[in-house]
Amino acid sequence: MLSFALSIVNMYQLKNYVAGQWVAGEGEGQLLFNAVTGNPIANTSTSGIDFNQVLHYARTKGNTALRKMSFQQRGRMLRALALHLLQHKEKFYQISYQTGATKIDSWIDIEGGIGNLFSNASLRRKLPDDPFCLDGEPIALSKGGSFMGHHLLVPKEGVAIHINAYNFPVWGMLEKIAVNLLAGMPAVVKPATVTSYLTEAVVQEIIASKILPEGALQLLCGSAGNMLNYVGSQDVVTFTGSASTGLKLKSHPQILSEAVPFNMEADSLNCIVLGTDVETGMPEWDIFIKEVKKEITVKAGQKCTAVRRIFVPENKLEDISNALKQELEKTAIGNPQNEKVRMGALAGLEQRNEVRAQVQKLLASSQIIYGSLDSVAVIDADANVGAFISPLLLLNQNPFEAEASHNIEAFGPVSTIMPYKTMDDAIALSKLGKGSLCSTIVTNNAQLAKQYVLGAATYHGRILVLNNQCAKESTGHGSPLPLLVHGGPGRAGGGEEMGGLRGIKHYLQRTAIQGSPTMLTAISNIYQPNALGNVDGIHPFKKYFKELKIGDQLITEKRLITSDDIDKFAQLSGDQFYAHLKETDFNGTMFDQQVAHGYFIMSAAAGLFVDSFNKNPVLLNYGIDELRFTKPVYPGNSIYIRFTCKEKIAQELKEVNPDVPFVKGQDIPKGIVKWLVEIFDDTDELSGVATILTMVQIKEAVK
């Protein structure tokens, strides 16, 4: 007893990173334990911290710095941070084992989290080199074109407060801060205390790297205290955890009175369905068994996306149950550092007690057909002191009558198998969970897949259709991806995290702006149709990237379109659609006579606006967006072009690619320039419009 007391005295004290300093909380705090050995490893507290000051520091220091950075700069910052953390991942793995996680569990948490940084960093290529961006398309509000509207997205002036769950102490933090940092908002991260020692280790490396501006990230290892008393309308609060705790936080008086955005991702009763078409011996049969086993055992079932309900056609219930039991029997449980072990421990004894209590409730209407609630054989560990539990497969024979399986979640390696008769029954059963993060159907029948997806989609945030065609490369049922929405309706919290550009917009304020096209061009740094152009007599293609200004414009000479032109293009391209042939009888068609190919008109437009006689800063044509043909062009019509610099996005230098000959050992500093191409006929009416992209040289490298 004395030695245990001494170990507490000499224990590592977790620190909080607030207001630019690492500080320990006051008082005894909370003792944290190794989930495998049961030994105390750290102590943590947030007592004595001024939470109002923490939020104020984030808003005044971190927010100010991030809002000055462009999306491009923030994206490069995330990439640099991801590269830095990868260099230190082995340190994180060693600490992660203490949470009960195996190597694969830790890989999902650590490298999966770092992968989120990389993925979100790549989104910078879809965003402007400005701190703000436009959302959607311009909206004409007047007949003459002098009044218009648009939507502007700017970073909120507050702080993102992330209250995270214990199951993914690294991924849970990184997947959230990646989004708010790219949007231009700082974060205060409050990980679940029981595994906060791993989050602290990662934040130590983040702060030591000095990649983020000061105030962009703060960490609280312990209670959030009265922090929510100080949130305001510019802040965003996110929560991952139980639905009951989430509802309590969401109902906080300050959140309600200030209309603070609150994004909740709650643990849900996710389900998997075996299609009625799947028979023993089909690849989908084995895929189903493998997927269910993985969802029960990976992370010891401690995933918000884990499969809790298994729906199987009633005539296959016994065979599937036996196959699952055989697979679960092969699962080696114990010390995650032992290479034979495939399932580790729960995060702590408290979590194990909670799982056992929830299973007892489920047993009122179900029965255990595999595993034991009270005993488990483990490798290289002591089952009495570690937070180990056996995988548990339950059977509910009457899923429509016995609804506990659809209401009670045991947050561990626990899942319930249930029979169904028809696909409509499977859909109805999936909905009894009252909303989930994800669902999977394993089938090789497209009609069954369509029926399930369209029937069940309203109750699930994500649906995976799994069969032999995609199983090899599929990321699986339980893997949220950075560029897809992660969240779900109803019990799952009604929110959504991540989701590519959708996720970023949670931290941006959308404001409708109205005015003249010229004024909105000046505000947005993107040329708007009908805005005044800058015609200075210098061909825009003669200007280097930094010399170009938004609105630089060229009005070309006219070109007469002849029947001979159209005939030659039809012969050259092979496009001899009837409307392009002069001998066609045009009665009953949309056209009066032979009409020019739209692609010929676009090619002729290029001939008018391209400065092709000398080398110039334009390196190449990068593509065409939003090409539309709005009015037919007939022989005898003339066309001219209004060619305007619409948008500029600088590119960072890339590594040498020997397959690109013009690089010659060194990348060329360059940027992408978007040009608005407006094609007018000789009545000054618009015949076509497009956005073309060119790669334009920069005289010096982008830093």
Catalytic annotation, residues: 265, 304
Contact 351, 387 (CB under 8 A): yes
* Cα–Cα separations (whole angstroms), residue 666 to 76, 654, 661: 20, 9, 10
Cα–Cα distance, 359 to 366 (Å, whole number): 9
Task: List all residues 6 or more positions away from 55 whose beta carbon is below 8 Å from its beta carbon.
Answer: 159, 161, 188, 227, 230, 231, 235
Cα–Cα distance, 18 to 24 (Å, whole number): 10
CA 311 to chain centre: 29
* Cα–Cα separations (whole angstroms), residue 597 to 242, 319, 570, 605, 677: 60, 62, 8, 12, 17
End-to-end Cα spacing for the chain: 59
Contact 189, 220 (CB under 8 A): yes
DSSP code at position 239: E
Cα–Cα distance, 135 to 638 (Å, whole number): 35
Buried/exposed code over 469-501 (b: 16+ C-beta within 10 A; e: otherwise): eebeebebbbbbbbebbbbbbbbbbbbbbbbbe
Residue 1 structure tokens: 């007893």
Q: Which of 568, 517, 506, 550 is nearest to 671 (CA)?
A: 550
* Cα–Cα separations (whole angstroms), residue 209 to 76, 109, 206: 14, 21, 5
Q: What is the DSSP secondary-structure string of 100-124?
A: T--HHHHHHHHHHHHHHHHHHHHGG
Q: What is the DSSP secondary-structure string of 570-591?
A: HHHH----GGG-TTS--TTSS-
Q: Cite the DSSP H helix spans in 408-500.
A: 423-431, 446-456
Contact 500, 483 (CB under 8 A): yes
Cα–Cα distance, 308 to 425 (Å, whole number): 18
Cα–Cα distance, 503 to 485 (Å, whole number): 7
Q: What are phi and psi of 623, to 5 degrees?
A: 150, 175
* Cα–Cα separations (whole angstroms), residue 370 to 204, 325, 359: 43, 6, 13
Count of CB atoms within 10 A of residue 151's CB?
Answer: 15
Contact 405, 366 (CB under 8 A): yes
Cα–Cα distance, 325 to 8 (Å, whole number): 42
Q: Is residue 553 within a helix (H) or strand (E), and if so which, with residue range? A: strand 553-555
Count of CB atoms within 10 A of residue 452's CB?
Answer: 24
Q: What is the DSSP secondary-structure string of 634-695?
A: -TT-EEEEEEEEEEEEEE------TT-GGGTTSPPPEEEEEEEEEEEETTS-EEEEEEEEEE
SS3 490: helix
Q: Which of 267, 166, 308 is nearest to 490 (CA)?
A: 267
Q: What are phi and psi of 517, to 5 degrees?
A: -55, -40
